[in-house]
Amino acid sequence: MPFMDKMDQNIGKKRRIGILVLDGFAAMSFAALTEPMRAANLLARQQIYDTVIFSAKGHPAQSSGATIVMPSTRIGQDDRLDYLFVVAGGDPMRFSDPGVTAWLTRMSRAGIPLGGVSGGPVILARAGLMEKRRMTVHWEHATALAEVSPHLVIERSLYVIDRDRVTCAGGSAPMDLMHDLITQHHGTEFARRVSDWFMHTDIRPSGGPQRAGLLERVGSQNPIILDAVKTMEAHVAEPLPLESLAKTAGISPRQLNRLFAEKLGRPTMRYYREVRLEKAQSLLRNSPLSLTEIALATGFANSSHFSRAYAAQFGQPPSAHR
């Protein structure tokens, strides 16, 4: 069956993506976030992503350069969203708009996943919406944010997905983020077609250049395993079931388990738990989060479950690595 015929049969629901664009935003960050969705619609031959552009006052948003973005609507006039991203640049630490803060808070309470790109994570953090969540932000803003909010768990990563929060460092990194999200929504094969459309063939993992290469860390060159591990690392707080991992890899759960056992010496979900526990160990050593907060941030139901799994993995309780 031709690829597009298969795609038409398995397209799933259309997703509405809200994007709040604030003056001073970087045009590259905005394009890297929105263009993959445009290409996905084109390749799917139907609208699978409906982007809704918001501005704070309903006026066009001016980038840090010559780009001007026309809004579809203004905040508060369209809340039927599957995601809401804030794209900001300039000096987001100085941004102050009670109306924007109140709207973002209301959207959070309504259960809509919130995202921030470039300086956007600063806006979310200053609104009190990144509490007890791992996050990243553009390096230009990371130090200042950490100084005024030392309790935040800020990682020097390309992007971080922690439950209902999606943060991204900006620049070209939103293309890596969108590859991850499109993979979740429509599978690896389709996500690769979207990335190939932009000649974005070297997809970077969420941890970005601050970590060793994925192939080196995993110890396997098998592309299916590498795709699965990349998905695991992007979904630490809300672990995906085996069926979802296998679906994004384009094979059956049984085949995926067989590959992991053959290449890595343990079943898929055991490897996934090890990935989550390694992240927990890093949080224990480098963050102020409590054991309960770390347990939730790494996908464990409670601190006792986390402590048992941690001790089984590392031979010591979490407190030994605090």
Residue ranges and CATH numbers for the domains of the chain are 3-176 (3.40.50.880), 212-322 (1.10.10.60)
- What confidence score (pLDDT) does residue 208 get? 60
Most confidently modeled range among 25-29, 245-249, 278-282: 25-29
- What confidence score (pLDDT) does residue 143 get? 75
| Statement: residue 118 has pLDDT above 50 | yes
| Statement: residue 308 has pLDDT above 50 | yes
- What confidence score (pLDDT) does residue 150 get? 86
| Per-residue pLDDT reduced to its tens digit, 182-199 | 999 998 899 999 999 999
| Statement: residue 209 has pLDDT above 60 | no
Please provide residue 226's backbone torsions phi and psi, each rounded to the nearest 5 degrees.
-60, -40
Query: Which one, of 209, 141, 144, 131, lies nearest residue 172 by Cα?
Result: 209
Most confidently modeled range among 46-50, 57-61, 222-226, 233-237: 46-50
| Statement: residue 3 has pLDDT above 60 | no
- Is the model's pTM score more than 0.85? no
| Statement: residue 6 has pLDDT above 70 | no
The arithmetic mean of pLDDT across residues 4-12, rounded, is 47
Residue given tokens 């429509």 in the structure block:
186
Please provide the average confidence, as pLDDT, over all residues in the chain: 89
| Statement: residue 21 has pLDDT above 90 | yes
Beta bridge partners of 20: 54, 86
Rounded percentage of the chain residues whose pLDDT exceeds 70: 93
Q: How confident is the model at residue 270 (pLDDT cuts 50, 70, 90)?
A: very high
